[in-house]
Every structure is written in structure tokens, then in C-alpha cells.
Amino acid sequence: MIILAGGQSRRMGVDKRRLELGPHTLLETALHSARRVCSEVVMVGRLPPDLRPPNVRCVDDCPGLRGPAAGIAAGLQAISSPRALVLACDMPFVTEALLRHLLTRAAEGWLAVAPRSAGRWEPLCAVYSTECGALVERECAGEHAAVRGFLENHCDEILALGEQELARFGEPSQLFANLNTPEDVKRAARLA
């Protein structure tokens, strides 16, 4: 599993990894989920020593890429398994059952398996084959390249989990709530 451990949020002015939601930080919550569903965990992003958990390999983002693409490409290069579950550390409501379901569906042989809710891909809670690492690195280089574009470009090889399938695991808008602003954090605290 690859945890995208982003850092300082420009919109919030704080390191999101350290934000507490309930008794744990966002990073601790993601790490707990990872350890419950995967035997190998790689964290991607610039992590200060106090955030580097024991027995977890930490790697930097892929140079030449920006945003999530940099973390996904680096993580896929670092893992030893043929596919990896990717989870952003600021998505605290993703359930263990959904993560297991993504892995099960990925075993069917898709290039990637990603939720698609309200017409949008959810690339930060998805499973990617290691083949995607080089593809993401090549296709997401440049100013405006995004992982969502990569998924769209390969949609015939990617399984999109639709809203009906996702609803078995919770309300998609809550499952994939990404904490990017102080308002997002307040809403998440009320839901937690």
C-alpha cells in the first residue's frame, strides 16, 4: 500500500498530516488502515523524522512531477508487489471494507481500479498496477497534467467503481471527503 503523505497545506497553513480527528492524526488513521489491509506499506512525501513510523519505508516524491502524480509514481516504483493500493492521508472516512473491495477487484487484472463518483475519478483512493508507475511518470509530466487525466486516457483498461457499487460502503461524498480547508476539517469533526 502507498500512503500519499502530503504536507503543508497552503489553504490551511498547517501540516495536514498532524491534524487530529478524534484521538488520532490524519497520518495515524491512514497508517492504521494501511496496516489492516496490506502487508507492505510505503509512505511517500517529505516526512520529518518524528512522522516516520517504524517499519515503514518512506520515499520522496518522483522528481519532475507535481501533486499526487509525483507520489503515485514514486510509490509504484518503491513497492515490491505487482499492484498497490493508494490512499491519501487526508481522506479519513475511507473504510477498511472499501479498501479490501478495491484490492479484490484489482485482482481481476485491471491496469487500475478507481472509484468514480458524481462523474469524477477518485485517484487518491485507488489500486494501480506497477505498470502505471512509468505511464503516470510519462503522461503526467508538465504544468497541467493530472492523475484524473491519466485515468480518463486509459479508461478502457481501468475499472471504474460506480456510485451503486460504492454505496455498499457508505455515502461516496463522505467516503472521499478530502480535508483541504478549515471548513472541511470542521465538517469532518462533526461527522467523526
pLDDT, tens digit (0-9, with 9 covering 90-100), for 59-68: 999 988 988 9
Going by their DSSP bridges, the two strands 14-15 and 8-9 should be labelled as antiparallel
Q: What is the pTM of this model?
A: 0.91
Cα distance between residue 156 and residue 6, in whole Å: 30
Better pLDDT: 161 or 15: 161
- Does the pLDDT value for residue 134 go beyond 70? yes
Tell me the pLDDT tens digit for each residue of 66-77.
889 999 999 999
**HSE-up of residue 161 (Cα within 13 Å, Cβ side):** 25
Task: Specify the fold of 2-191.
Answer: Spore Coat Polysaccharide Biosynthesis Protein SpsA; Chain A (3.90.550)
Of the ranges 27-36, 55-64, 103-112, 146-155, the best mean pLDDT one: 103-112
Query: What is the reported pLDDT for 37?
Result: 93
